[in-house]
Amino acid sequence: MSFPDEFKKYDHKEVLDRILGKSAQDVERALQAERPSIEDFQALISPAAEKYLEPLAARSHQITRQRFGNNIQMYVPIYISNECTNGCVYCGFNCSNSVSRKTLTLEEIEKEALTLHRQEFRHVLVLTGEAPNAVRNEDLVAAIRKIRPLFSSISLEVYPMDVAGYRDMVQAGVDGLTIYQETYDPVLYEQLHPYGKKRDFQWRLGTPERGGEAGLRRIGIGALLGLGNFYIDTFFTGLHGLFLAHRFWRTQVSVSFPRIRPADGGFEPLYQVTDRQMVQGICAMRLLLPDGGLTLSTRESARFRDNLIPLGITQMSAGSCTAPGGYSHQDEGTGQFHIDDDRSPEEISRVIRAKGYEAVWKDWDAAFLEENAS
């Protein structure tokens, strides 16, 4: 059974009613559970749990230290194209937006990669807009092979592929995939994606499984917070993560918590997601997925990110730029959105150390797989 099949079992109104109907007793029981169920997760993200934020955060901190120690993995996004054929109304790359478009050449991609390598990054996330004619599978393979010697881990956040496409990426040196469903509300999803391949809700929903079937070592999911109802999107993100963790038990499943930021096009969030809700969602996700990576990007403010370091986050980006060519100051295109935390990697690393944690720049190497295979 696939996750789209599992997803169909749930009525969204019933899910929301159950979450909103949770009591203080339900929350207390969920906090005491050794391994919270999906019902417990509903209680932990409910309005009733808001006044239990302190014990929830304490439990999240405890589990994270047990499973991950005091390590925060550092990564950085590298945008190689902002060309796109989709009409996502919330995105700066929307093909209807009159912005400067740019697809980097292999030489320009290498310059970006060298700049990031000199900043000590060894984990990178390669991103594009969704324009397969501008950046084809073979173009991605060539780019990955070009920069592979510089990094120990390369992940992709690009257009969804079939299993064969992801296998090509694995052979080229990719070990991770990030793919956001954006919102798990299919009606709202259709309204937010009026045209383009991304309009296909079911195709996108099944993407993480195709990546898992292709042998990717890490799979990251998430909802773009502010598009849909916080409770619905957080619940289904957790359900999705739990499904993937059970099906692909050798793969690390991670969850990101991106919140809408200003971008070209002027889209305003349909729902306001507060800082307290963000903290609640992150801590509840840690209890549901104790071994899952939890990621917080530079979309959030420096102060907010600093305060979340002890509460369950295991992966953070630093020094990010969302425009192709931005790191090496080439003729860059327009960025996807405006970041909030614009501190340098060195500054963020110092803050992490000051809080008693270690900024980890490399925690993986492809040689591990080669040793296991021999």
- Domains of the chain (ranges; CATH) run 3-373 (3.20.20.70)
pLDDT digits (tens), the chain, 374 positions: 899 999 999 999 999 999 999 999 999 999 999 999 999 999 999 999 999 999 999 999 999 999 999 999 999 999 999 999 999 999 988 998 888 899 999 999 999 999 999 999 999 999 999 998 899 999 999 999 999 999 999 999 999 999 999 999 999 999 999 999 999 999 999 999 999 999 999 999 999 999 999 999 999 999 999 999 999 999 999 999 999 999 999 999 999 999 998 877 788 999 999 999 999 999 999 999 999 999 999 999 999 999 999 999 999 999 999 889 999 876 666 777 788 899 999 999 999 999 999 999 987 666 655 544 43
Cα–Cα dist 294/35, whole Å = 18
Tokens matching residue 140: 């991605």
Residue 35 phi, psi dihedral angles, 5° rounding = -135, 95
Contact residues for 140 (Cβ-Cβ < 8 A; gap 6+)? 126, 128, 156, 158, 169, 172
- The predicted pLDDT at position 92 comes to 85
Cα–Cα dist 56/123, whole Å = 30
Cα–Cα dist 313/291, whole Å = 12
Report which DSSP code applies to 8.
T
- The predicted pLDDT at position 372 comes to 42
Asked if residues 257 and 274 have their Cβ atoms less than 8 Å apart, the reply is no
DSSP letters, 302-327, are HHHHHHHGGGT--EEE-S---STTTT
Cα–Cα dist 309/357, whole Å = 8
